[in-house]
């Protein structure tokens, strides 16, 4: 049975049982605890935590997941994967243990004709938590599993929580017996290689307290509503139903391995374990990389981008070590898209973008490999020069961590150079890095810790946002929070958070900054609203300063938006949609959104693109945007189902966790249609002029445009016009001739600077030649040196010193040159010392001299025995420095 069919049978089974199908969320969600979605229940966390009310009582999904903690283990064993699909069914206060167990059992054991997987019931072993008599009884008496095939296990194996205070509960896992060829008898307790877990049923019935690990926390009591969270590993079930030993031999990964074998000329499964590891790395990482890029991740140097970059580079490395010397990434990513798009169609629609990003990273890493090879050669030469045969762990770690050079490539090249590598030292440094990263990840696990103060409001239900229809609303104060604690009242000067039952003030979201405004009462209380944020995406938190009067919990108030602020904010947000539409028209659909920010009069928009905008493209984007403004397109907003919105062509931002019902903002019909929860103008003419003010790079494959709108755009253009008029007046030419005139002046200035530099060099050479005539002898060594004309930098002094040294190369000689560079009270004093072969034979080293004389000019320096340089700040010390040099040489 093919993996896509296994996936569809799961969904069909639970849809038939009354579950709502929920499409897989993006691998990127707005969760402070997670780099990527790593479990099927993650998109449902707000429901389990009580932060949001679920729109259904039972749901089912097949969620894309990525886990990268064991990335270095991928390929070494066949059990580690970075990407996997977790099928799950969920109940929010609806059914509980008996139905959850029955649903799982029937799907696993029903015949193929009845929609099941047709697994032999005799091969299935359930486990339950130590004291979960209820679950054991269901398995034994209701399902009919013999008692000897039901095993009880402790907190570590059969009790689940999110790792933070909140819902928790016992588990019941289902294991499949692969037979005596895979290990000993005795169930999961005896051998988890023979008995592999394929399904985990979590009975969410309790609340846990703080604590670390899987066992170090307290069970505080029962949940108000019992929930079900289950997960079935699609890939593991595919192994069983396809009759293969591991996921790498299933229908979605084996074709990638076969392609790798074809492209490298090496064979998989031919008895070379190291080769097999590389094949598995290619298959696993290429698939994960394609899925990540499809969900909006781009290669970078930190966070998600770093993980993607590492995955892609491990593919390139593995292909190289298998013998391929040509680019292969395009072939792998295209094959991944072919195999995975039946379940994830967005891969096919984004094919060009995904392939371009992956191929671009391959090309970039090829350059890194070239640079790393040079750095390795330097490290290897230094190792041999020190008469050692082992490259230090520090060198290997620097190559790996700073330059992205893989350790196994370092090992291979070291062997070719006749060296070994201190792998223990390298491993120690890597372990220290992982320990720091783990500590950082633990420190980040505070995303829900501060929510407890707002739990009452979250349980009450979402804030009624009235800001789409009105700017002033009557409201009631539900609570006041100051310094992290509830308070009953607040007086002038206090800063606090106010929770209202309803509000017209927009909370920061979707790139739009929060509204500012006021909260007042009829008897003179006035609060100044400086920011509005959300708790649990549903409760508005008004950050305020009390200006007048005393506010108290329960007060009836008037919440009002600053109308000028809101007008500017709507201009900025609608302008962002206009610029996005114009970008897509100019660059094509691959120019997808990567982030945005808009505030009154200003917008910035990040988009996916591998190269800068040309001047003509910038002009075209500006013209399209302003043509849409002039067209005075109507702006319509409406709510509809997510599927319906996407079928209409509405653009969704990857990484956003949209609900079933979405808000669509349509500007001018097909011109712009996006899913958006922000505030907007009524018609495009209200945006005012759009002026692009900048375009730049913000990361690998991501560009940023910035623009002014409305009056800010007018003021910017007015300022530019005044500047141009001033230049025209100064240059005494019409405005349209200013660019040409400025270019002429710049050319003349550059030519003049070159001539000045030429004259300075001639003067310096003449002065330097005179130094030989004025040279003195100290002991048996000639000393050529002194102060040269001002303005010669360190590079110029090096050139002159080398030239002078060449003229006295037949004897023991030292050349020492000083200059002064820069204006003001503290000019720089560069200096250079060079020695001849005969001087070095006497033990006179330029690097030693520089260290000795640097202090006389208020500086320091260093270098090699033949040439060294430094810089100081006190030209008055040059004579003393030369005197000290003569003393040093005289002693030789």
pLDDT tens by residue, 223-281: 888 999 999 999 999 999 999 988 999 999 999 999 999 999 999 988 888 899 999 99
Task: Indicate the pLDDT class of residue 449, thresholds 50, 70 and 90.
Answer: very low
Q: Where are the alpha helices (DSSP H) in 386-507?
A: 393-401, 407-416, 423-444, 455-460
At residue 88, the pLDDT reads: 95
pTM of the model as a whole: 0.61
Distances (CA, A) of 334 to 280, 289, 307, 350, 354: 17, 12, 21, 11, 9
Query: Are residues 263 and 324 in contact, defined by beta-carbon separation less than 8 angstroms?
Result: yes
Give SS3 for 727.
helix
Calculate helix-pair angle for 3-16, 234-242, nearest 10 degrees. 120
Query: Are residues 625 and 690 in contact, defined by beta-carbon separation less than 8 angstroms?
Result: yes
Query: Are residues 170 and 158 in contact, defined by beta-carbon separation less than 8 angstroms?
Result: yes
Q: What is the mean pLDDT of residues 525-554?
A: 93
In degrees and rounded to multiples of 5, residue 776 shows phi and psi of: -120, 165
Helix (H) or strand (E) holding 288: helix 273-294
* Residue that the structure tokens 């997510």 belong to: 642
In degrees and rounded to multiples of 5, residue 757 shows phi and psi of: -65, -40
At residue 824, the pLDDT reads: 63
Mean pLDDT lowest among 272-276, 373-377, 424-428, 445-449: 445-449
Scored b (16 or more CB within 10 A) or e, 548-566 reads ebebebebebebbbbeebb
How far apart are alpha carbons 425 and 393 in whole angstroms? 4
Distances (CA, A) of 124 to 82, 228, 255: 26, 21, 30
At residue 442, the pLDDT reads: 42
At residue 443, the pLDDT reads: 45
Residue 781 bridge partners (DSSP): 778
Mean pLDDT lowest among 592-606, 716-730, 748-762, 843-857: 748-762
Length of the chain: 892
Query: Are residues 536 and 52 in contact, defined by beta-carbon separation less than 8 angstroms?
Result: yes
CA neighbours closer than 13 Å in the CB half-sphere of residue 650: 24
Query: Are residues 422 and 391 in contact, defined by beta-carbon separation less than 8 angstroms?
Result: yes
Question: 262 or 375, which is more confident?
Answer: 262
Distances (CA, A) of 20 to 10, 11, 12, 55, 63: 13, 9, 10, 10, 14
How far apart are alpha carbons 801 and 818 in whole angstroms? 10
The tokens for 305 are 């981008």
| Pairing mode, strands 781-787 and 813-818 | parallel
pLDDT tens by residue, 580-627: 999 999 998 878 888 889 999 999 999 888 788 999 999 999 999 999
The tokens for 810 are 């037949």
CA neighbours closer than 13 Å in the CB half-sphere of residue 108: 28
Q: By 3-state DSSP, what share of the chain in percent is helix, strand and coil, each rounded to 5? A: 45, 25, 30
Give SS3 for 88.
strand
How far apart are alpha carbons 627 and 633 in whole angstroms? 10
680 labelled binding-site residue: yes
pLDDT tens by residue, 673-695: 998 989 999 999 999 999 999 89
Among candidate residues 294, 186, 173, 284, the one with its CA nearest the CA of residue 235: 284
Residue 772: burial class (beta carbons within 10 Å; 0-12, 13-18, 19+): middle
At residue 857, the pLDDT reads: 92
Query: Are residues 14 and 352 in contact, defined by beta-carbon separation less than 8 angstroms?
Result: no
Q: For the chain, which domains are there? A: 3-245 (3.30.930.10), 254-444 (no CATH), 450-548 (2.40.30), 566-716 (3.30.980.10), 767-890 (3.10.310.40)
pLDDT tens by residue, 30-59: 666 678 988 888 888 888 877 778 889 999
The tokens for 188 are 């999961």
């Amino acid at each position: 049975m093919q993996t896509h069919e296994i996936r569809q049978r799961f969904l069909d089974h639970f849809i038939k049982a009354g579950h709502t199908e929920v499409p897989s969320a993006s691998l990127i969600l707005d969760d402070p605890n997670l780099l990527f979605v790593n479990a099927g229940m993650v998109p449902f966390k707000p429901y389990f935590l009580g932060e949001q009310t679920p729109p259904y009582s039972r749901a089912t999904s097949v969620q894309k997941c990525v886990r990268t903690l064991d990335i270095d283990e991928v390929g070494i064993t066949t059990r580690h994967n970075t990407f996997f699909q977790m099928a799950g069914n969920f109940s929010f206060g609806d059914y509980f243990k008996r139905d959850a167990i029955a649903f799982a059992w029937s799907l696993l054991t029903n015949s193929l004709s009845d929609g099941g997987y047709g697994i032999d019931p005799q091969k299935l072993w359930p486990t339950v938590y130590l004291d979960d008599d209820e679950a054991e009884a269901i398995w034994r008496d209701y399902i009919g599993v013999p008692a000897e095939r039901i095993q009880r296990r402790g907190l570590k194996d059969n009790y689940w929580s999110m790792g933070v205070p909140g819902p928790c509960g016992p588990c019941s896992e289902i294991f499949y017996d692969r037979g005596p060829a895979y290990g000993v008898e005795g169930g999961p307790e005896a051998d988890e290689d023979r008995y592999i877990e394929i399904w985990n049923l979590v009975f969410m019935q309790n609340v846990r307290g703080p604590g670390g690990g899987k066992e170090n926390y307290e069970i505080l009591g029962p949940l108000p509503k019992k929930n079900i969270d289950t997960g079935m590993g699609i890939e593991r079930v595919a192994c069983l139903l396809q009759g293969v030993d591991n996921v790498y031999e299933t229908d979605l990964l084996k074709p990638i391995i076969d392609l790798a074998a074809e492209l490298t000329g090496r064979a998989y499964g031919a008895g070379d374990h190291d080769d097999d590891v590389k094949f598995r790395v290619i298959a696993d990482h290429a698939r994960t990389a394609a899925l990540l890029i499809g969900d909006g991740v781009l290669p970078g140097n930190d966070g998600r981008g770093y993980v993607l970059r590492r995955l892609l580079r491990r593919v390139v490395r593995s292909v190289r070590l298998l013998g391929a010397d040509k680019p292969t990434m395009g072939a792998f990513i295209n094959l991944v898209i072919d195999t995975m798009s039946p379940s994830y169609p967005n891969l096919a629609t984004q094919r060009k973008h995904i392939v371009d990003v992956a191929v671009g990273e391959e090309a970039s890493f090829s350059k890194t490999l070239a640079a790393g090879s040079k750095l390795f050669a330097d490290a290897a030469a230094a190792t041999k020069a020190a008469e050692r045969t082992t490259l230090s762990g520090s060198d290997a770690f620097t190559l790996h961590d700073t330059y992205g050079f893989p350790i196994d490539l370092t090992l291979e090249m070291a062997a070719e150079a006749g060296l070994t590598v201190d792998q223990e030292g390298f491993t120690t440094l890597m372990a220290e890095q992982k320990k720091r990263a783990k500590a950082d990840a633990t420190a980040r696990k505070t995303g829900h810790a501060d929510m407890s103060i707002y739990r009452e409001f979250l349980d009450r239900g979402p804030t009624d946002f009235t800001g789409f229809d009105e700017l002033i609303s009557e409201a009631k104060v539900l609570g006041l929070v100051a310094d992290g604690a509830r308070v009953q009242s607040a007086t002038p000067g206090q800063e606090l958070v106010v929770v209202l039952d309803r509000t017209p003030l927009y909370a920061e979201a979707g790139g739009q900054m929060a509204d500012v405004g006021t909260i007042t009462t009829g008897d003179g209380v006035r609060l100044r609203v400086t920011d509005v944020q959300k708790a649990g995406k549903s409760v508005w938190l008004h950050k305020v300063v009390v200006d007048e009067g005393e506010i108290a919990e329960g007060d009836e108030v008037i919440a009002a938006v600053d109308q000028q602020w809101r007008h500017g904010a709507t201009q900025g947000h609608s302008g962002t949609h206009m610029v996005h539409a114009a970008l897509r028209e100019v660059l094509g659909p691959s120019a997808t959104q990567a982030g945005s920010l808009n505030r009154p009069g200003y917008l910035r928009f990040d988009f996916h693109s591998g190269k800068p905008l040309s001047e003509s493209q910038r002009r075209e984007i500006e013209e399209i945007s302003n043509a849409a403004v002039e067209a005075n397109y109507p702006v319509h907003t409406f709510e509809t189902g997510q599927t319906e919105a996407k079928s209409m062509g509405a653009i969704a931002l990857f990484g956003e966790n949209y609900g079933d019902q979405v808000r669509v903002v349509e500007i001018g019909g097909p011109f712009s249609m996006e899913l958006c929860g922000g505030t907007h103008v009524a018609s495009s003419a209200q945006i005012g002029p759009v002026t692009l003010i900048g375009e730049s790079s913000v990361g690998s494959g991501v560009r940023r445009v910035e623009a002014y709108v409305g009056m800010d755009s007018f003021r910017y253009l007015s300022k530019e016009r005044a500047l141009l008029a001033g230049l025209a007046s100064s240059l005494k030419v019409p405005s349209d001739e200013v660019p040409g005139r400025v270019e002429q002046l710049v050319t003349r200035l550059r030519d003049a600077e070159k001539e000045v530099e030429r004259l300075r060099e001639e003067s310096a050479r003449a002065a330097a030649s005179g130094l030989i005539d004025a040279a003195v002898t100290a002991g048996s060594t000639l000393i050529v040196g002194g102060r040269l004309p001002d303005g010669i930098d360190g590079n110029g002094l090096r050139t002159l010193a080398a030239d002078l040294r060449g003229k006295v190369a037949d004897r023991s000689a030292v050349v020492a040159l000083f200059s002064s560079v820069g204006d003001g009270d503290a000019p720089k004093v560069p200096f250079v010392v060079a020695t001849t072969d005969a001087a070095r034979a006497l033990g006179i080293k330029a690097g030693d001299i520089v260290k000795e004389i640097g202090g006389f000019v208020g500086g320091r320096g260093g270098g090699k025995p033949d040439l060294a340089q430094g810089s100081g700040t006190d030209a008055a010390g040059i004579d003393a420095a030369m005197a000290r040099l003569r003393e040093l040489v005289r002693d030789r």
